[in-house]
Structure 1
Amino acid sequence: MDVPPASQPRHEPGLAMPGWDGNVAGAQSLQREWARRVVVRDDFHEPLRTVAGLDVGLEDGGTVTRAAAVLLDAGTLEVIGEQVARAASAAPCPPDLRSFHDLPLLLQALEMLPQRPDLVLVQGHGIAHPRRLGLASHFGVVAGLASVGIAGSILVGTAAPLHDIRGAHTPLRDGGQQVGWLLRSRHGGEPLVVSPGHRVSMTAAAQLAMRFTTSDRVPEPIRLANRIASHLDGPRR
């Protein structure tokens, strides 16, 4: 499949959005700079009208990256729209720099939705990141949207043992600072790492993750985006 590079979508004025160029030190420096723009307090429309889920996967043996965006009614969880943006895969990058690899394509998928969501759940980390700018935080700052990071494993920090009760959560701390939560979204399931992305408070991050979780381990917007991003039974990242 001949897939062109991702186009550069619109973003917040004054915020550059470079793609991954292999410059680790430069990317880390930008993360530290942009992390200062992250807002960890509730600043989103209430009551929520719409919520989106975002995820990134691969196809064609990993040569093509696909970003999925699904928009849902926040009350009924009915799907309003779903989109996929594709681009030729860039060179691999370290997990803590993933946003430079994935963000341009996620922004493109977002702009293809019929309307901007009130809140976005991103498959990835928020501030639970070594430099406090995981994919969900980077996305929220650049897109100017409230966001929460939902990840399957810890990137940084430690937490106390978690009760095996649906909804149980315990602080995830790094160097004495709380950066997120370990959240048991389903009895018997492995905990999720939930952290504020942008314009969402620490307390609300866990509450919102549970609000949109039904029978699956992950919140419904993420589950739907994951199925599309992974091409149903296709390769996963």
Structure 2
Amino acid sequence: MEIVEAPAGWPATEEAARAVQDALRERVVLDEAGPPPGTGTVTGVDVAYDDERDLVAAAAVVLDAATLAVVAEATAVGRVSFPYVPGLLAFREIPTVLAALGALRADPGLVVCDGYGRAHPRRFGLASHLGVLTGLRVIGVAKNPFVFDHAEPGTARGSWTPLLAGDGEEVGRALRTREGVKPVFVSAGHRVGLDAACAHTLHLAPEFRLPETTRRADALCRAALREAAAVAPGG
């Protein structure tokens, strides 16, 4: 089993990580519409942790955007490369996520992260970070809000309310993907605007609360982590 290590020079302190966020945030592009929902390919990425063994597993699952059928998938297992610090989780995950994306045998198209883009205290969550590093179009669809206020959206599928920062900026949306079910929390990451991000999320969630990209990637990274843990020392 090959273990992904963080690249040389990867930030090791909170101060260094925040400096990287500040530098890369200036490169985020939010005024591109991106491809129409249901066209090309779309890729879900997700990670799972085994803190006892210091392992993180990442999965990337490419779907045909029209049919939501799986086109390609890949996993990678790495060492946790940064301590747990709220707002800096991308630094724990990105080296292994990049390895999984790099192992794909298909064009990832639009990438959907289980996390945040603009809806982040420093306006630079995983979806933005990954997009800037790869140049890919990326959006964030999170299961829970981070630190932003929002009103409860209407009960109908497609209803939404803004996620608002303290200065009134709309940094994302609470979006209802199933009638009467808890919303998901959508934000633009890189090279896709917020309206398009919400449209893609609805298209990718025809039956369940979470987009199919997230559901498939979540299952795959958990399976990869179980396999890695079984052969790791102490497994």
Partner of 2:232: none
Provide the secondary structure at the position in 2 that maps to 1:95: coil
Query: Runs in 1 of length 4+ with deviation above 6 angstroms?
Result: none
Give the Cα separation in 1 of the matches to 2:53 and 2:177.
Answer: 30
* 1:202 CA drift (Å): 1.5
Q: Which of the residues 181, 187, 192 maps onto 2:184?
A: 192
1:4 aligns with 2:3: yes
1:98 aligns with 2:89: yes
Provide the secondary structure at the position in 1 that maps to 2:223: coil
Partner of 2:134: 143
Partner of 1:38: 28
- Number of matched residues? 224
After TM superposition, the structure 1 = structure 2 runs for residues 113-152 of structure 1, keeping only pairs within 5 Å, are 113-152=104-143
After TM superposition, the structure 1 = structure 2 runs for residues 1-237 of structure 1, keeping only pairs within 5 Å, are 4-6=3-5, 8=7, 19-21=10-12, 23-42=13-32, 44-45=34-35, 48-59=39-50, 61=52, 63-174=54-165, 175-231=167-223
Q: Is the 8 A contact 2:142 2:185 kept in 1?
A: yes
Deviations 1:103-133 (A, max 9, x none): 1111110011112222000111011001111
Matched-pair identity in %: 36
Give the Cα separation in 2 of the matches to 1:64 and 1:222.
Answer: 20
Q: Give the unaligned 5+ runs of structure 2.
A: 227-235
Tell me: CA distance 1:50–1:102, structure 2 relative to 1, closer, same or farther (3 Å): same
Provide the secondary structure at the position in 1 that maps to 2:102: helix
* 1:6 CA drift (Å): 2.9
Please report the RMSD computed on the Cα atoms of aligned residues, expressed in angstroms: 2.2
Deviations 1:132-183 (A, max 9, x none): 1100110011010001001111223211222122111111110211100001
Normalising by structure 2, report the TM-score. Answer: 0.87
Give the Cα separation in 2 of the matches to 1:187 and 1:20.
Answer: 42
